[in-house]
Amino acid sequence: MHVAMTVNGREVSGDVEPRTLLVHFIRENLRLTGTHVGCETSYCGACTIQVDGAAVKSCTMLAVQADGATIRTVEGLADGDQLHAVQEGFWERHGLQCGFCTPGMLMSAASLLEQNASPSEDEIRHAIEGNLCRCTGYHNIVRSIEYAASKLRGEEPAPPDWTMDFEGVS
Amino acid sequence: MTTSISAMGGIVRRKEDPALIAGQGKYVDDIRLNGEAVTAFVRSPFAHARINSIDTSAAAAMPGVVAVYTIDDVRHLGPVLAQVPVGVMRPLLADGAVHHAGEAVAMVVAENSYVARDAAEAVMVDYEPLPAVVDMKAAVAGATKVHEGSESNVLVTWFSHDWWPGVFELVDHRPAIAEAKERDDVVVVSQEMTNQRLIPTAIEPRAVLADWNHGYNRVNLWSSTQMPHALAGAVAKTFGLPSNEVHVVAPEVGGGFGAKLNIYPDEILTVFASKALDRPVRWTETRREAAFSTIQGRGWVATATITGTKDGKILGYELDGIADMGAYSQNFTVAIPVLGLFVAQGQYDIPLAWQVSCVQTNTQTTDAYRGAGRPEASYYIERIIDMYAAAIDMDPADVRRKNFFKKEDFPATTAIGLTMDSGDYERNLDTLIADVDYAGLRAMQAAARAEGRYVGIGLSTYVEVCGFAPSVLAEFGFGWDAYGMPTSFSGSGLVRVNPDGSATVIIGTGPSGQGHQTTWAQVVSDRLGIDYDSVRVTHGNTAESPTGVGTFGSRSAAVDGAATYEAAEKVGGKAADIVAHMLEASAEDIRFADGGAHVAGSPGHKVTWAEIAEVAYKPHKGPDGMEAGLEAHAVFSPGNATWPFGSHLAVVEVDPDTGNVEIQRYVGIDDCGNRINPMIVDGQIHGGIAQGIGQAMFEDAIYDAEGNLLSGSLIDYPIPAAGDLPAFELGWTNTPTDVNPMGVKGIGEAGTIGSAQTIVNAVVDALAPLGVKHIDMPLRPRRVWDAIQKARG
């Protein structure tokens, strides 16, 4: 079957089997490999992208269902050399280690901040519950998203909370 | 960011991140080669069955199927190699019988993954089910054998007084402990506890891509492995090649946690298929395969016993346990409990009598999962010490303090003959006690109890052992001899200053998120004054790094980091001679900083690294007799392991109506010696704690009596999500080691080793007013609720 969609501002099309998952179309046909497959069952969230502005796990959607849609993947987050605030936040606040969950996490975070400019820590934790990370314990992911929220509001982000060059609790 | 990145305590954004946050990181499954075929495996639905026949004809006839292989095609390659080959080795594909659910029976190679999976379902296997043994105690009893014809399911029993006969002459503490039990002034506290099986669950499934080149008779292999050099050795040995004809690359690896510290049949079989089919062959694991055919961890049941005086002096600690090895032995399998034995007595100077039997069952193999034996050991001693404290009505912090190795005891010899070089446990615990206002917390708890609330405070200390050394441990199994790469667990660092003055650093590790590119660049930038942004670090590549042991056991900084430090020192030594020649000064007076070198006391009298490099690569410009080039390689083999330690505390509240546990605070004070990048250290601790909390609260690899894995998906095997965890409060003390030149100890597993029992101690403390003494992990609401109901009668 023939599908056509807009991905990261570019018109793309291709021929797929009816059963082809959207994530496979993105990875195999478009060779956009930033969107990862961690479970193929919609639990881990590594494949999260935006479809028509909403965060969607692209392993739970068929490519044919995205025909005509506007899609944004992690490769479309930055504006040229200008990182999206969530990308900058994850870099500044050590929001990633192995990086495998990161693209999906970034897309969920970006979607959250589009809907809620000033999320509380609880709201952030709730918003990313569908994105599993095994490396960070989420602590620095939360701080990264708080950093991004501050930047998007035009405010100075809170300083990092990691332990510095003294002994005892920082 | 420019120069002056301090190697010690410098915080710098990671070099890894710009690619990873842009979706440009290349993991194995992101790499495509022209003409590649894709693999899927037929896996056993039975835990134990005879295979009467395998009919591959329907699958082989499907359009797009390239080949279907069974053991008959690959038996000549032998079983999967294991570093500690005690037990039954895993065949590449099931050979006449299957011994756990998920065991690979046949391999399909097809033009794409959809066809491969369809064809795998079309392979007809005639199984004749056999009795399976899943329960560890039943396996020890031995009425049912895991492997047909074997005499016992027990592979080995490790005893603390006799764990390495002929090397250590040790005291058997059992008679003295038995005698102590007869005293009038002692109590004996004993509890059987389960340390349940876990599924490591890296978010990146494992993946392999093999490309055999018949012209060169060599193979390129990409694998999401933590031990690329060992894999190169194993492939070379299996296919009769020298190891340098196997080029293994571990590109971005999406989490390892020990699960990628193994040689797997799929790695060997993709190489086989690529060679047979003369085209690249790829395999990518599904999440269900990650659950039941990648290694699992933990899986112990043991009775811990403390014999101690009523005023808190421990006279003996005993552990009598069974550890589940699964059906086959792989990389370390039976050696994992030995790592637990290394830290069996925790921070305490106490008599030890420990025995753990390694038993086979009809389940997936267990091996190293973050902490690997040490979380289990720490769990048992830290749980039973809390029960002892409760029994003698003494504060758990005071009981611990009373039995510590004292600062002046170091270097301290443990009951099993190992030497812990450094430690200051009292100061570390005191730091925690002071920083959390422990007395204030206990007062808050008392007030909550007066209101009828169930608030608990849990405490745990721990000792970790990492950077396994000295090198004689290689003879025990801590090396890669079985893979044709006879090495101790030494570290490798190569530092090269290139002709343009940039630096290339090649290390022998295989990281999966630990930030080695950043940390090693900091070390080299600090030693040589080369701009941090001009240092490139590569790892996980057997053609680039002369040797390599990989990344596991919290070893990388303490061992490969030290090697890199030494290599940088060597480069600096040669460069000093060159600069001395250039500046007409004495080599001893040359200092490296700010992108070049200058004469001490005369910062304006300087040259840049580009200028130094040009002289190094144009020897006619250098001192007479200078060898051209500017690089050095160092292999560092430490004289001892390192022994990080720490104290953790959790505050929880239990809802007695639902059994739900809320973690209100989690505080860790860890001591890993000097810290190269505190930001990365914190991140390692965060992740470690999260996995320990995962074990304490949620995770459980559950097999039913027939050996079916009931927790094979992320819905049945819930790892912590963001809303399940609190923000972590971290602090540190610093007790450096002198077993490596940077005084670093390692931090990758500490959080996991310290945390599971901290949570359980807190929950049991919360429910102490009801008389609850112990609940086995995971502390899911139903299990906690049941314990409350039982306590209330």
Q: What confidence tens digit (pLDDT) does each residue in A73-115 have?
A: 999 999 999 999 999 999 999 999 999 999 999 999 999 999 9
Please check whether residues B623 and B705 belong to one and the same domain.
no
DSSP-assigned states of every residue in B740-790 = STT-B---TTHHHHHHHHHHHHHHHHHTGGGT----PSP--HHHHHHHHHH
Same-domain status, A46 and A104 = no
Please count the CA atoms within 13 angstroms of the CA of B99 that sit on its side-chain side. Answer: 26
CA nearest to B513 within chain A:
A98
Residue among B9, B20, B727 minimizing CB distance to A139: B727
Q: Are residues A7 and A71 in the same domain?
A: yes
Span B245-269, pLDDT tens digits: 999 999 999 999 999 999 999 999 9
Of the candidates A39, A96, A132, the beta carbon closest to that of B721 is on A132
Q: Find chain A residues with C-beta within 8 A of B687's C-beta.
A: 97, 134-137
Looking at the fold, whether B447 and B556 belong to one and the same domain comes out as: no
Examine residue B148 and state whether it is found in any structural domain, yes or no: no
Q: pLDDT grade, residue A162 (50/70/90)?
A: confident
- For residue B90, pLDDT beyond 90: yes
Domain boundary among A76, A93, A111: A76
The answer to the question of residue B151 being in a domain is no
Residue A170 has pLDDT above 70, yes or no: no
Q: Are both A99 and A65 inside the same structural domain?
A: no
Least confidently predicted of B370-374, B419-423, B485-489, B747-751: B485-489
Q: Do B246 and B113 belong to one domain?
A: yes
Q: Are B591 and B671 in a shared domain?
A: no
**pLDDT, tens only, B708-719:** 999 999 999 999
Based on the fold, state whether residues B644 and B597 are members of the same structural domain: no
B644: domain CATH number is: 3.30.365.10
Tally the domains of chain A. 2
3-state secondary structure of B502: coil
Q: Classify residue A164: in a domain, yes or no.
A: no
Query: Is residue A160 assigned to a domain?
Result: no
| A36·B114 Cβ contact <8 A | no
Kindly report, residue by residue over B173-184, the tens digit of the pLDDT. Answer: 999 999 999 999
Residue B785 scores a pLDDT above 60 = yes
User: Which residue does chain B place closest to A131, by CA atoms?
Assistant: B721
Q: Is B334's pLDDT higher than 70?
A: yes
Q: In whole angstroms, what is the distance from residue B615 CA to residue B613 CA?
A: 5
Question: Do B16 and A99 lie within an 8 Å CB cutoff?
Answer: yes
CATH number for the domain spanning B236: value is 3.90.1170.50
- Domain extent for A47: 2-76
Pick from B257, B722, B733: CB nearest A128: B722
User: Which of residues A22, A54, A76 is at a domain's end?
Assistant: A76
pLDDT band at B3, cuts 50/70/90?
very low
- Residue B327 and residue B450 in one domain: yes
| Selected residue of B20, B648, B711 to mutate for chain A interface (largest A Cβ count, 10 A) | B20
Q: Are residues B674 and B746 in the same domain?
A: yes
Beta-carbon contacts of residue B614 (< 8 Å; ≥ 6 apart)? B499, B621
B419 and B557 co-located in one domain: no
Q: Tell me: the pLDDT tens digits for B203-214?
A: 999 999 999 999
In a domain, B156, yes or no: no
Half-sphere exposure of residue B453, counting CA atoms within 13 Å on the CB side? 14
Q: Is B181 inside a domain boundary? A: no
What pLDDT digit, counting tens, does each position of B449-460 carry?
999 999 999 999
Residues B212, B65 share a domain? yes
Task: Residue B125: give the domain boundaries.
Answer: 31-130+206-284
Chain A neighbors of B725, CB-CB under 8 A? 125, 137-139
Q: Which residues contact B707 (CB under 8 A, 6 or more apart)?
A: B46, B47, B48, B100, B101, B132, B134, B362, B363
| A142 plus A115 within the same structural domain | yes
Residue A161 pLDDT > 60: yes
Q: Could you tell me if A67 and A115 lie in one domain?
A: no
Kindly state whether residues B458 and B508 are assigned to the same domain: no
Claim to verify: residue A55 and residue A113 sit in the same structural domain:
no
Last residue within a domain, chosen from B249, B284, B319: B284
CB B130 within 8 A of CB B50: yes
Assess whether pLDDT exceeds 50 at residue B658: yes
What is the number of domains present in chain B?
3
- The answer to whether residues B715 and B745 belong to one domain is yes
Least confident of A28-32, A163-167, B625-629: A163-167
CA distances from B269 to B105, B120, B210, B584 (A): 12, 15, 9, 61
The answer to whether position A126 is within a domain reads: yes
Which residues in B lie closer than 8 A to residue A124 (C-beta atoms)?
Answer: 722
Q: If pLDDT is split at 50, 70 and 90, which confidence band does A169 have?
A: very low
Instruction: Write out pLDDT tens, residues B148-187.
Output: 999 999 999 999 999 999 999 999 999 999 999 999 999 9
Shared domain for A56 and A116, answered yes or no, is: no
- Confirm whether B159 is domain-assigned: no
Condensed to tens digits (0 to 9), the pLDDT of residues B406-416 reads 999 999 999 99
pLDDT digits 0-9 by tens, A27-57: 999 999 999 999 989 999 999 999 999 999 9
Same domain, yes or no, for B102 and B47? Answer: yes
